[in-house]
Structure 1
Amino acid sequence: MTKPYPLKCKPEFKERVWGGRALEQFGLELPEGHIGEGWMIGDHPNGTTQVENGELAGLGLDQIREQYGSELFGSKGFSKKTGRFPLLIKLLDCQDDLSVQVHPNDHYDRLPQGELGKTEMWYILDAKPGAKIIYGLKDGVDREQLAAAIAENRIMDALNEITVQAGDSFYIPAGTVHALGAGVLVAEIQQNSDSTYRLYDYDRLGLDGQPRELHIEDSLNVIAYEGSGATYMKTDLDGPATWLTLANSDFFITEKGRVEGEWKLQTVPDSFVIHIIADGEGTIRWADGELPVRSGECFLLPANLGSYELTGSMTVLRSYLP
């Protein structure tokens, strides 16, 4: 590779029993079915995205990692546990409620071989009036009380529900019980993991017509009953060209900013930068070129890109490694 440039990947789409067709509004060509997830940037055995622009077009993110290593991803740009790209970037279309679930941390001894734990965050791109999510346990609920509520089919009595709006942001450390509700469209930034333990699924059948598997014992083992450090916030911005921190974890930092006109920025050698265009349109300019960008698109900016500029009128999420 001669010169670095912003990488755009071809999404990997996942059919889900709770999915729909809303990702088409971003100009994405969906396969048939109920598409719940677009894996926009990923390097995981269950979904590895391929670059679709520029010199590296046709290469998977795993191949780029193997060929160009820290040159593009930065000195921190690999999972210490798996050696893979450390993050997974998704867009989620929730036409129905997701299962009530929880994710383990990296140290859980029953994780599948080569898998990471899963700390993540959600940014609500759109929400129908009255749409809700489940976010944590009610105060004082311990393992024994939760196990009893599950056994007596009254788990919803133990869970917090929150009504959401576009622009809300939720940080979801491993150990947080959570579930997206029907009627939300979400950008998700997470550890590069596909580890999910289901506590409850509304007695729903899967795409194969069979009841979906629950993982009660694992879930009860990994829940952070004393609090996981989960936080949520409204994300109104004071003005353009400033970053508002949405999540600051050991695994990623995510910020929100507004572009109005031109905004000069810079990458640093220790980490790539990911930009998700939450709304609006504009361009990314760098020393050797310019790319048009629009809502729903995600870009991986190499650590060695250096100076670049965002232009236009758009809201942008920026994620990088701490």
Structure 2
Amino acid sequence: MSIKPYPLQFKPEMKERVWGGRALERFGLELPPGAIGEGWMIGDHPNGTTKVMNGELAGLGLDEVRAQYGAELFGSRGHRPDGGRFPLLIKLLDCNDDLSIQVHPTDSYAKLPPGELGKTEMWYIVDAKPGATIIYGLKDGVDRAALEAAIAEGRIMDALQEVPVKTGDAFYIPAGTVHALRAGVVVAEIQQNSDTTYRLYDYNRPGLDGKPRELHIEDSLNVMAYEGAGATRTDTSSAVAGEWLEIARSPYFVVEKGVVEQPWPLETRPESFVILVVAAGRGELAWDGGRQPVEAGQCFLLPANLGAYTLSGAMTVLRSELPQ
């Protein structure tokens, strides 16, 4: 059975986190009670599967869309004949407090849970309070022995790079890169479809259950890329209206920033779906057979077979595709 392709919008899965807050409400999102740190906007994972909330496929989970229509909607690179999960996970993060110091494994790490992938990701800073910083990589010359010593002596922060951030900064974080978001930022995250995180340090604070959160020192030390994994930072303020600025490229995704000021005709390709994240402003998304208003905080999955579409209004968008 075929359907006429259209942009899919999903009901987010909200996740309470010890470091979360209520900032995602500013996007008009409905939050449950508690400290909400993550909105899983487009997800197909055992820990969170989002459901379509518009059009003919409304009510179906992304896993069900994949099973029934993946071959026609996800593109030749996005569909796995073996039934594998959708390749990306899209999140909005509200960092009301510091996240743990953490690192993610590559796909080849032998201790990955069954069925799980490694985790390469990227961040786009949607909003940052004055003075906000993140942890981004090891300081020069820190090897495994030096990091182990810093951990044992309670001075791990001395081994890490802390960098200032502002709205519009983009960070590519390959697996193996130590990192941590810190208080005062709201972030759009595009990542491999994985939920594997190894914590090195968590400020000795209790979790939501009142108990210290588990650390994964040995796994973290094993997967760390001490010589660097190719992490890059991009100041995206140079983005020109009507032109895509590439801000992250990996074997798993390519992410570009676009500034919309007047109607911008675009189209999808048969090889890959497109994910659009509206990072700021508002406008309209139009395609053959429909149009709808869009605004900051909304995310859309454009099927590979959608073809022509147009963005208009005054907004900043992130476009994610699978690499060729």
Structure 2 length normalisation: TM-score?
A: 0.98
**8 Å contact 2:67–2:83 — kept in the other structure?**
no
Which AA in structure 2 matches 1:70? A
The alpha-carbon deviation at position 208 of structure 1 amounts to: 0.1
**8 Å contact 1:237–1:258 — kept in the other structure?**
no
Structure 1 length normalisation: TM-score?
A: 0.98
Structure 1 match to 2:66: 65
Equivalent residue of 2:122, what SS? strand
Alignment gaps of 5+ in structure 2: none
Distance 2:234 2:81 in 1: 30
Distance 2:320 2:52 in 1: 19
**8 Å contact 2:239–2:259 — kept in the other structure?**
no
Give the stretch that moved more between structures: 189-198 or 233-242.
Answer: 233-242
Distance 1:84 1:28 in 2: 26
Identity among equivalent positions (%) equals 72
Equivalent residue of 1:261, what SS? coil
Structure 1 match to 2:49: 48
Q: Deviations over 1:28-65 (max 9, x none)?
A: 01000000000000100000000000000000000000
**8 Å contact 1:169–1:233 — kept in the other structure?**
yes
**8 Å contact 2:123–2:188 — kept in the other structure?**
yes
What is the 5 A alignment of 1:23-42? Answer: 23-42=24-43
What is the 5 A alignment of 1:98-109? Answer: 98-109=99-110
Equivalent residue of 2:238, what SS? coil
Structure 2 match to 1:86: 87
The alpha-carbon deviation at position 82 of structure 1 amounts to: 7.2
The alpha-carbon deviation at position 261 of structure 1 amounts to: 1.4
Matched, 1:150 2:148: no
What is the 5 A alignment of 1:117-196? Answer: 117-196=118-197
Structure 1 match to 2:96: 95
Distance 1:236 1:157 in 2: 31
**8 Å contact 2:239–2:258 — kept in the other structure?**
no
Equivalent residue of 2:150, what SS? helix
Equivalent residue of 1:236, what SS? helix
Alignment gaps of 5+ in structure 1: none
Between Structure 1 and Structure 2, how many residues are aligned?
Answer: 322
Distance 1:219 1:106 in 2: 14
Distance 2:193 2:293 in 1: 27
**8 Å contact 2:239–2:245 — kept in the other structure?**
no
Distance 1:66 1:139 in 2: 46
Structure 2 match to 1:294: 295
Distance 1:3 1:32 in 2: 38
Distance 1:68 1:79 in 2: 11
